[in-house]
Amino acid sequence: MKKIIFSMIAMLFAFAGYAQKLSDTSTYFEIRKYYAHEGKLPDLIKRFQEHTLSLFEKSGMENIIYFLPIDNEDNSLTYILGYPDEKSRDVMWGKFMNDPVWQKVFEESRVNGALVKSVDQTFMKLAPGLNDFPLPQASGIFQMRTYTCFDGRLDNLLTRFKDHTQELFAKQGLKNYPYWVTVENDGSQPKLVYLLGDKNQASFEANFQNFAKDPAWVKAKELSEADGKIVEKVDAIFYKTLPFSPIK
């Protein structure tokens, strides 16, 4: 019954004109977080808007989302790219970096100093069974949530999201966006990463509290942890998308 209800919700999303979507060709994804030099973030944003996004697309990459943290104490910009597969990622970046147009833009943008001092990268694949719904319409606020599980418990977490959590988020008015699992080069257990949206931060926090208190969630959580805890740690950061972000 719960799966039927969630399928009905997804159908309602589709008929409501939910036009945002991921392409069917991207299977490998990358979160890139840029730390800008002092006073250079506006220039970095302008470079992305006027040049970088289109040059990424020219090289075959998929622009997913671009946003800034609400509490931007580290002067950063975060975005997510999609690629057809892991091997094509390096090929596309090579094509982008060697594009004469990009090289010209890059040099001109740093005449008065470099814009970026460092970059963090996280590689991901779509979480199995957690993306079978249309993406919702634009949100005013996003939260990126990263779950670190106890050893051997990731599959339990994915099952709980598929059978209960996503539907219960939607019940409270929280919007489910893409769900991924990280690709860990050191062979460690992947993490779950996903985006959850709402109209503003106050609404998000109230709706998330209602979710946490929902008897259906309390029961699902207790039953799923009958043989032990699943989640060791959750990292959550609020973001607002930039005007040129494909997903809003």
CATH number at residue 147: 3.30.70.100
Query: What is the three-class DSSP state of 104?
Result: helix
Please compute Rg for the chain using Cα positions.
Answer: 19
pLDDT at 43: 98
Is 153 found in the same domain as 132?
yes
pLDDT in tens, 196-227: 999 999 999 999 999 999 999 999 999 999 99
Is 137 found in the same domain as 118?
no
CB atoms within 10 A of CB 98: 10
Domain count, the chain: 2
Q: Look at residue 141 and tell me whether its pLDDT is greater than 70.
A: yes
159: domain range?
Answer: 127-241
User: Model confidence at 19, in pLDDT bands (50, 70, 90)?
Assistant: very low
Q: Look at residue 1 and tell me whether its pLDDT is greater than 90.
A: no
In a domain, 194, yes or no: yes
pLDDT at 60: 98
State phi, psi for 23 to the nearest 5 degrees: -70, 165
Q: Name the residue with tokens 């509290």.
A: 209
Runs of H (alpha helix) within the chain: 2-15, 41-47, 53-58, 86-97, 100-109, 154-160, 166-171, 201-213, 215-224
Is 187 found in the same domain as 97?
no
Is 163 found in the same domain as 68?
no
Euclidean distance between CA atoms 44 and 36, whole angstroms? 7
pLDDT at 13: 39
Region at 17 (left for phi over 0; alpha for psi -120 to 50; beta for the rest): left
Q: Out of 13-17, 50-54, 110-114, 243-247, which region has the weakest mean confidence (pLDDT)?
A: 13-17
Rounded (5°) CA angle 120-81-176: 100
pLDDT at 94: 98
Q: Look at residue 15 and tell me whether its pLDDT is greater than 90.
A: no
Question: Which of 122, 156, 181 finishes a domain?
Answer: 122
Q: Which residues have a Cβ under 8 Å from the Cβ of 203 and sit 6 or more positions away?
A: 141, 173
CB atoms within 10 A of CB 200: 12
Is 228 found in the same domain as 210?
yes
What is the average pLDDT score of the chain?
A: 92
Question: Which of 98, 122, 146 finishes a domain?
Answer: 122
